[in-house]
Each structure stands twice: as structure tokens, then as C-alpha cells.
Structure 1
Amino acid sequence: MPNDLNQAAYWVAFILEHCPFPNRDALAAQFSNAEIVNLCGCGCNTFGLSLTTRDNVPRIAIASSGQPHRMVFEADFRDRWEPEGWGSLEILLFVDELGHLADVEIDYCGNGIPIPENLNLELTPYSVFVSESLL
């Protein structure tokens, strides 16, 4: 599946609708006040974010000067097209040192293969990680 601005916008909507992020309003504010940048071309659908009004947007995690790029959330969804539930789409959210959303990583099977053109995802994640640093 090609990674472009339209696909990134699709994933933003999917994340806000289907990921059980603890503070959805703060996450939505991050997306609403950011420009999508750095589209990865390796076959995943990863993209970065550049906040336009950083000071006016609530952080989603505590600041940490020692960890400038850290994962704070992950939700994994099964792909029903794959036999016996082997297909997995992983959504990982990373924050910058100030606790603002910086990168959204979208992988398939641990980034072992490119994201397929057609997905039939279960809409409830089978695995979720929530960092203790989330606000």
C-alpha cells in the first residue's frame, strides 16, 4: 500500500476511531495542529508530524529531556485476510522530548513485509501498550 498524504490522513482517522488511547481529545488536538511530514517509503505507512502551534496544544506525555524520541502507545490489529490470524497491523505512537506527538509508525507483521493493498482488520486491537508517561 503506497504511503502518501491521503493514506496518512486515513490512518489518523483510523487511530482516533479505533485505538483506545487514554486521552483521545489531546491526541486529536495533536493531529489537528500538525502537518504530516517524512512519509516513509520502505513499504510501511509511517509518517512524522510537525506541530504548527506547539505552545497551544496539550501534550500527550510527560516531557523527558533524556529520551527525545520514545514510544508511548501501541495498538495491534489482526488482519482477517491472513490465514489463521497471522497478519498483524501495528500502530505505534512516538513523542518528542516535550511530550508532543512526533511520529506515527504503521507496520505490518513487525515491519517484516510491506503493508498489503487490501486489509480486513478487526476493529478491536488484540494487544495494547500504554506508557506510564502518558498524561
Structure 2
Amino acid sequence: MSNTLARASKWIHFLASRAEFPAGERLLAAFHAGKVTWLCDCGCNSFDIEIPEGAVAPLAQPGARGGSIFELEFQTTEEQRTLEFIVFVGTNGHLTGIEVDYCANSYPVPDEPILVEPPYHVRASAALAI
């Protein structure tokens, strides 16, 4: 399935609802305040977003280096494949994008991957604001 704003919204809501992500409400607020500026068309479901300065509280401590602040990875029921999420912020601490990959971006993300719980990898940066 092609990457769309609806898919981006689906993944944001999924991440925000996960107990492993400690700033779900901030993530949702950032997504709703921002504008998606790029939807990858390679088969992954990654996207970039711009958040207006001052519109919402940042996801990470401003002044931090920026980059990846959260990772969540699952195995799926399809032949031991994986689905990976990485949340990125800019140096101002605001959300800049989400990477959604299937098998380390070796295959397109299926329409409805069946995840095996619990996730096998979770990493939250100390810079993540909660």
C-alpha cells in the first residue's frame, strides 16, 4: 500500500498509545499541530513533519543534538519479519519525522502487519521530555 497521510496518522496514534512511549500526548499534539512535508514512496511508511515554533511543547529537551529519541521494534507473524519505528526530533526538540520500516526497509510495509508482543527492542533517549 502506498504511503499516505492516513498511514502517517495511523502510526502516530499507534506509537502514542504504546506504554513504551512515555510522551504519547505530546506526540499526538505535535502531529496535529504540524504539517507533513514528505511521505516516502519507497514502500516504507516514513514521513517528515514540520512543527511551528511555539505551537506545542517539544518532544525532547531543546538544545539537544537532535536525531533519534525513540525506537520500537517488533517481530511479525510473517516468516519472522520485523517492523521498526524510529522517532526523530530537531535541535529545537520538536518532532521532525517518523521512520517506519519493514525488515530494515528490505520490503514494503504490509497493509496490516500482525505484531508479536512484546516488542523485542525499545530505546528511549534520556533527552525525551516526559
TM-score between the two structures when normalised by the length of structure 2: 0.88
Alpha-carbon contact 2:3-2:43 (below 8 Å) kept: yes
**Residues 1:70 and 2:67 aligned together:** yes
- After TM superposition, give the deviation of residue 119 of structure 1 in Å: 1.3
Once the two structures are overlaid, the 10-residue window that deviates more, 86-95 or 10-19, is: 10-19
Alignment partner, residue 6 of structure 2: 6
Alpha-carbon contact 1:18-1:123 (below 8 Å) kept: no
- After TM superposition, give the deviation of residue 76 of structure 1 in Å: 0.7
Distance 1:123 1:9, change over 3 A: farther
Alignment partner, residue 125 of structure 1: 119
- The AA in structure 1 aligned to 2:73 is D
Distance 1:19 1:94, change over 3 A: farther
- After TM superposition, give the deviation of residue 116 of structure 1 in Å: 2.3
- After TM superposition, give the deviation of residue 19 of structure 1 in Å: 5.7
- After TM superposition, give the deviation of residue 92 of structure 1 in Å: 0.4
- After TM superposition, give the deviation of residue 40 of structure 1 in Å: 0.4
Alignment partner, residue 47 of structure 1: 47
In structure 2, list runs of 5 or more residues that go unmatched.
none
Distance 1:11 1:51, change over 3 A: same
CA-atom RMSD in angstroms = 1.8
Alignment of 1:61-100 (within 5 A): 61-64=60-63, 67=65, 69-80=66-77, 82-83=78-79, 86-100=80-94
Q: Specify the SS of the correspondent of 2:22.
A: coil
- After TM superposition, give the deviation of residue 60 of structure 1 in Å: 1.1
- After TM superposition, give the deviation of residue 15 of structure 1 in Å: 1.4
* Larger strand percent: 2
Alpha-carbon contact 1:79-1:121 (below 8 Å) kept: yes
Alpha-carbon contact 2:46-2:101 (below 8 Å) kept: yes
Alignment partner, residue 106 of structure 1: 100
- After TM superposition, give the deviation of residue 6 of structure 1 in Å: 1.6
- After TM superposition, give the deviation of residue 123 of structure 1 in Å: 5.2
Give the paired residue count. Answer: 129
Alignment of 1:33-44 (within 5 A): 33-44=33-44
